[in-house]
Copies of this chain bind each other. A is one copy, B any other.
Amino acid sequence: MSHNAAQVIEALKPLLGERLVTATAVREHHSRDMSSHAASMPDAVVFPRTEQEVQEIVRACGKYGVPIVPYGAGSSMEGHTIPIHGGICLSTRDMNGIIEIVAEDALAVVQPGVTRKQLNTELRALGLTFPVDPGADATLGGMASTRASGTAAVRYGTMRENVLALRAVTADGEVVKTGSRAKKSSTGYDLTHLFVGSEGTLGVITELTVRLHPVPEQVASAICAFETVEGAIATVQETVQYGIPVGRVEFLDTYSIESTNLYSGMDLKVAPTLFFEFEGTPAWVEEQSTIVAEIAAANGGSNFQWSTDAEERARLWQARHNHYWAIKARRTGCEIYTSDICVPISKLAENIVAGLADIEASPLEGQIIAHAGDGNFHAGYLVDPNDEAELAEAARLADRSAERALASGGTVSGEHGIGIGKLKFLRREHGDAAVEAMKRIKLALDPAGIMNPGKLGQEG
């Protein structure tokens, strides 16, 4: 431990007592995330309960020049929360209060450690939902920091569209308040969007005001197998062009369907497949399904089945949500090395087809799923995490995928973020001037570089 970190720990002990932890097991737990990036231990983990405590912690770190790394649920896929330069890991575990739900305005005010499932449990009785669904039961603070999204973003947008306002403690220990409860505003630089996606490098988010949405009267699920990847993606594209506000639309490749059949005991046709959800009034749901069934049939889709049966829908979407485990079960002890590409929808089919060809030509097994309505897809490669050659091969495939995305006018991360893993692409994607602007903004708000150092705003 550095001398400075020791001083911060001494300074914070009276404030936090047992909520400042230096035990190895706890530090180890906060040294990694869900990615394959190398772990790195913080010097201590702190568990503040209030914004005032966060201010004290940040001020102490500022005084001694010690890194501070915000930590939510640890479900990052790109190493965001790994304290690569040590320092203080600030866990929002104990900042998990739902401060206010204003049903009439369809908004909730929460502390950053509230998870999306926790919030939705509270909302159930009110007929409201917080729809951003990245899969993991992430914290809202973490989701905001990585600009997370997931399967429902095609309808409801990402954290970009669903954070209305926030409070953050910046490096100087001050509390920046952004946004308001109004649905829109034209007053001042958009600091809300600056903090959303800033990956803990500009401040510690201490409160979020998020948008809620009415639970639809009816939800129907549908599934459809296609002869080709192109036919499946053309169906999605035409559905969006038609203006159908599909609730979810997910693409699974044949390997994924095969794995899902094995793991979830399903009997799906082994072919490129779309999973749909339609939402609305019963009549409108039926009309949407009918229109999309026609579009699918014209694109080589067969056996389009839709159902409003809640159990059937739950079974189908549970299988989709178990996709990760279904793939993992294909090879004992493997990890899944995951990419996160997003391209304009007109380029989605060709990017997926090229990605599948790369997998076909590689010694690794792998598969592709897509949040197809957004043009966002994940290739996942099955690797032995202890085999350097396999990891290198997975990285090579992911890099090729990212290169193709950039050539298509897309982005190297649709929802996972830059973290450590994508830093090397930042300048390629955004260009020198934009990256320099990011660095200037970082320097302006965190001149000493204590907020999650070595990542976005400093590197790339």
Q: Which residues of A contact B (CB under 8 A)?
A: 102, 104-107, 146-149, 153, 158, 160-161, 170, 174-178, 180-191, 193-194, 196-198, 202, 213-214, 216-217, 237, 240-243, 245, 280-281, 283-284, 287, 291, 340, 342-346, 374-376, 405, 408-418, 422, 425-426, 429-438, 440-445, 456-457, 460
Contacts and interface: CB of A to CB of B under 8 A. Distances in A.
Contacts of A342: 182-185
Contacts of A177: 430-431, 433-434
**Number of chain copies forming the complex:** 2
B433 A184 contact: no
29 contacts: A104-B237, A105-B345, A107-B344, A147-B184, A158-B184, A170-B433, A176-B434, A178-B434, A181-B408, A182-B342, A182-B344, A182-B410, A184-B342, A184-B415, A187-B418, A188-B429, A188-B430, A188-B434, A189-B194, A189-B197, A190-B193, A193-B193, A194-B441, A214-B242, A283-B284, A284-B284, A437-B445, A443-B444, A444-B444
Task: Name which of A185, A408, A457 has the most chain B CB atoms within 10 A of its CB.
Answer: A185
Contact of A187 (B185, B196, B281, B430): B430
A374 B106 CA distance: 12
B283 A181 contact: no
A189 B102 contact: no
Contact of A161 (B104, B161, B198, B429): B161
Contacts of A147: 184-186, 190
